[in-house]
Amino acid sequence: MESLERAAIPLAHNNSLVVEPVAGGSVLRLFAADGKQTIALRVTAAGLELEFVGGLSLKTDGDLALSARRIDLTASEGMSLTTAGDLKTTGRSQTIVADLGDVKVKANDDVRFNGERVLVNC
């Protein structure tokens, strides 16, 4: 296979796409008109890695489905999950952990715990 060389492709509105070889693969970088990188797509033997610089917003007026063997979400400062409808989580088992601070449960109506055994302070 031929060795890849760096290539820059001008795009509309003074944006540009740069394709370059890196250790273990290639990277495609999209630069805004001000020269700041906005997107990087790394192509490696292990798969693809997509990086967004400066934030990302996904919007759709239809459904959004994610499917994978595993999904890990990590936030360095906080995370919020909000819906105007019902929220349901399902799993073989579930764990809620607060490493520092309280776990608060608030409901406008009843709070129900149903289980084979309900253990408190164990």
Residue 3 is given by DSSP the state P
Q: What is the pLDDT of residues 60-82, one digit of tens each?
A: 999 999 999 999 999 999 999 99
Which contiguous run of DSSP H or E holds residue 8? strand 7-10
Which domain range does residue 27 map to? Answer: 7-52
pLDDT string in tens for the chain (122-residue length): 456 789 999 999 999 999 999 988 899 999 999 999 999 999 999 899 999 998 889 999 999 999 999 999 999 999 999 999 999 999 999 999 999 999 999 999 999 999 999 999 98
CB 41 within 8 A of CB 48: yes
Q: Has residue 61 been placed in a domain?
A: no
Q: Has residue 105 been placed in a domain?
A: no
Look at the chain and report how many structural domains it folds into: 1
C-alpha distances (whole Å) from 98 to each of 35, 74, 84, 103 are: 41, 15, 25, 6
